């Protein structure tokens, strides 16, 4: 486990130190803005690839769309921290999916 975590942790810490040293350089700021746009594009592309799987998801595409809109509003409009939104809304989605997948005692008696 340490072998899997040590190298990435050292890389991230090195990048954080480099950022702390060079964060006022305009070229570094422009590069980071560009990386943010690339990251947003990759997330959008991944979401588009996952759209066909929503047909089989227990919550369905309408619920997923609702949670997507709520997440967007929470992060962009209300400006809640992303970690809070992901754990809050993601946790709620996990609980709702688990409840939908878990058979109720009445459904088990019908079998």
Q: Looking at the predicted structure, is the pLDDT value of residue 1 above 80?
A: no
Domain residue spans of the chain: 57-111
CA 15 centroid distance within chain: 22
Written as six digits, the tokens of 50 are 């996952």
Of the pLDDT bands very low, low, confident and very high (cuts 50, 70, 90), residue 95 is: very high
**Taking CA 107 as the corner, what is the angle to CA 104 and CA 111, rounded to the nearest 5 degrees?**
140
| pTM tops 0.85 | no
Predicted confidence (pLDDT) per residue in 65-92, tens digit: 899 999 999 999 999 998 999 999 999 9
**Contact by Cβ (8 Å): 40, 58:** no
| Distance (Å) of CA 83 to CA 50, 66, 69, 71 | 22, 19, 17, 11
**Taking CA 43 as the corner, what is the angle to CA 41 and CA 49, rounded to the nearest 5 degrees?**
105
**Contact by Cβ (8 Å): 55, 61:** yes
Written as six digits, the tokens of 5 are 């975590």
pLDDT at position 5:
85
Predicted confidence (pLDDT) per residue in 28-66, tens digit: 888 888 988 999 899 899 989 988 888 888 988 899 889
Written as six digits, the tokens of 71 are 């997440």
């Amino acid at each position: 486990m340490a072998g899997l975590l040590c190298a990435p942790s050292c890389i991230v810490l090195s990048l954080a130190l480099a950022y702390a040293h060079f964060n006022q350089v305009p070229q570094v700021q422009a590069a980071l803005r560009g990386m943010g746009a690339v990251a947003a594009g990759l997330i959008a592309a991944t979401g588009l690839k996952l759209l066909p799987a929503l047909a089989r998801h227990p919550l369905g595409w309408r619920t997923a769309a609702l949670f997507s809109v709520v997440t967007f509003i929470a992060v962009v409009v209300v400006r809640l921290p992303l970690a809070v939104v992901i754990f809050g809304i993601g946790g709620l989605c996990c609980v709702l999916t688990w409840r939908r997948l878990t058979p109720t005692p009445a459904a088990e008696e019908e079998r």
